[in-house]
Amino acid sequence: MKKHYIQKAACLFIAVVLFAVSGCQKLLEENPRSSIAPTFFETPAGILGGIAGVYSDLRNLWGTEGFGATCVAGTDEHKMGGSASGQTFYTYNGLDLNGMSGLWSIAYQDINTLNGVIEKAPAVSLDDNTRKVYVAQAKFLRAFYYFHLAETFGDVPLHMTFLTTASTADSRQPIADVYDSVIVDLNAAIAGLPATPTAPFGGKAATIAAAKFLLAKVYLTRGWSTAAQSGDFTQAYTIANDLITNKATYGLDLWQDYADVNKDGNDYGKEAIFCIDHNNDAKFGDWVSQASGGKINIMASLYRPNYPTMNANFPASGGSTVMVRDVANGRPFIRTTPNTGYIYGQAFAERVNDARYDKSFQTVWICNTAANVTTPRGTLVVGKDTAIWMPPYEVSASRVANFKGIILTPTGANGANKYTNVFFPALSKFNDPSRANMNDPSDRPLVIMRFAEVYLIAAEAAFKGGGTLQNAADMINVVRTRAAYRASYPTGQTLASSVAAMQITSGQVTLDFILDERSRELYGELVRWWDLVRTQSLVQRVTLWNTEASPYIKDYHVLRPIPQTSEIDLVTSGPKFPQNTGY
């Protein structure tokens, strides 16, 4: 969390037992050691250190390049960028059996740490309220990990006791048991967490709202699954609606302007429910100047085109480049690109009344070279003229011919250039313009639960029978009303007219509409693969929209493979650990 991490203790339960200390943010005076014993959890500092270490470990996943790709790759929304890593996750062709080892290993390491916190806390010298909050934090985090393990892998090992001796045996438990455990933990967390962030956990650590958000999503996900129980969708709707009704209690609300949702400086604001914290403190924040890997937030770079390589004569060779790398335009990793057919032909096809595309993507690059640049159509004035323009629509041939810079459009009609996996509109949600160096990772926290999604969870639950179709439409319309807001409108258009145009009726509520709405609201926010899996839509939507993955995707791809080397190969006692079907 922002200024509240101390040492961490972690225990691996397969093959070895390891208690490690890693750099976390400072709360107390520290005495760094290379290793510590299980008795570390028998002190107040040890209990808090275990929790803080788990929060720090979340940085190994959310915000990183590899894990970020697995959250969106192989969906209707995204395709490989020209320099994509983890390519088999985009295509499903020869899917890497160890590609999800990061989530698996880190989750189980941290789950054991949390088990130690939960078991040892009752005997530690703490006041009752502090103990209650610490245990609630641990149970929230344990539930958080187990939920993501279950929705990623299906049946998984369920370890609910603190392991201090090595074991070479392991087994999977039914997903129904995992969901039951998650629900018990989240209800306990709700009973013990504060309504708003409270010291020593700052930023946007777990609160009642975060636990309720996750619990609503767990019921929603279980309701779709083979482990479904009667009332799951009703529970999901009721919990989400409770968050909405009591939003003031939790300090939550929607920003009026969608642009403010992802504005640098608003990360801990009223729409954020739970964040993975990052800052630029090199000692306690895991931040390294100009790093490209590790426990860093690299999201601002992953969705960037290779804008500095576009020359004045593009697409022909020759001529000076029309842009150079800078902080404002970002470090172009070129890892992930919008899936043109779906994004422009379906999800964001309506852009007159819906402002979210304009506030999610960068489409204009202003010439920033050391001197003016001459193209075949004129001279670009530094700091004034648009060097690259990528509108989300086709433009006329005369506009192309008379534009001094370079135009790319979705299809490249009328003499324009077509979007490619190297040149495409940049996702601007994660921009960090305050970085000191162009190649620095972001020091912004990564918001992974936000209030707008509560309305979409409620809408999906209502659609599935937890409420009425009118309830679903009403929830969606709240989000769409906000999407209609602009600071100014073209002649003949007003806020009222845009809001009216954005409203839907109950008859328009379908699963496809809900999924499209989630794209419009949450594009790039590391939930899409799970969204499609949860709603049993992955294969159908990928087959329909994603030409890159459609030849290879199979029904069994709704689960990721169990890591071969970090789990299956390590189980050498007892029954062989089974791989997911198809792998």
Give the pLDDT band of residue 284 (cuts 50, 70, 90).
Answer: low
Distance between CA atoms of residues 11 and 22, nearest Å? 13
On the question of pLDDT at 31 being above 70, the answer is: no
For residue 404, give the 3-state DSSP assignment: coil
Give the pLDDT band of residue 456 (cuts 50, 70, 90).
Answer: very high
What pLDDT was estimated at residue 16? 29
Q: What is the mean pLDDT of residues 202-226?
A: 97
Residues 6+ apart with CB under 8 A from 80: 73, 87, 90, 91, 335, 336, 337, 421, 548
What pLDDT was estimated at residue 483? 98
Give the pLDDT band of residue 13 (cuts 50, 70, 90).
Answer: very low
Q: Are 548 and 91 in contact (CB under 8 A)?
A: yes
What pLDDT was estimated at residue 289? 87
On the question of pLDDT at 513 being above 50, the answer is: yes
Angle made by CA atoms 77, 512, 501, in degrees to the nearest 5: 95
- Express each pLDDT in 217-244 by its tens digit: 999 999 999 999 999 999 999 999 999 9
Q: Select from 158, 127, 144 the least CA-distant residue to 62.
A: 144
- Express each pLDDT in 358-372 by its tens digit: 999 999 999 999 999
- Express each pLDDT in 127-158 by its tens digit: 999 999 999 999 999 999 999 999 999 999 99
Distance between CA atoms of residues 263 and 167, nearest Å? 47
Give the pair of three-digit tokens for residue 10. 């972690």
pTM over 0.85: yes
Residue spans of beta strands (DSSP E) within 64-121: 78-80
On the question of pLDDT at 464 being above 70, the answer is: yes
Q: Select from 510, 565, 549, 467 the least CA-distant residue to 74.
A: 549
Q: What is the mean pLDDT of residues 372-395?
A: 98
On the question of pLDDT at 21 being above 60, the answer is: no
For residue 380, give the 3-state DSSP assignment: strand
What pLDDT was estimated at residue 37? 74
For residue 78, give the 3-state DSSP assignment: strand
Distance between CA atoms of residues 14 and 231, nearest Å? 37
Q: Are 210 and 272 in contact (CB under 8 A)?
A: no
On the question of pLDDT at 288 being above 90, the answer is: no
Q: Select from 126, 114, 268 the least CA-distant residue to 196.
A: 268
On the question of pLDDT at 302 being above 80, the answer is: yes
Q: Select from 343, 175, 355 the least CA-distant residue to 262.
A: 355
Q: What is the mean pLDDT of residues 287-314?
A: 93
Give the pLDDT band of residue 285 (cuts 50, 70, 90).
Answer: low
Domain extents for the chain?
A: 301-427
Place of tokens 């949600």: 429
Give the pLDDT band of residue 204 (cuts 50, 70, 90).
Answer: very high
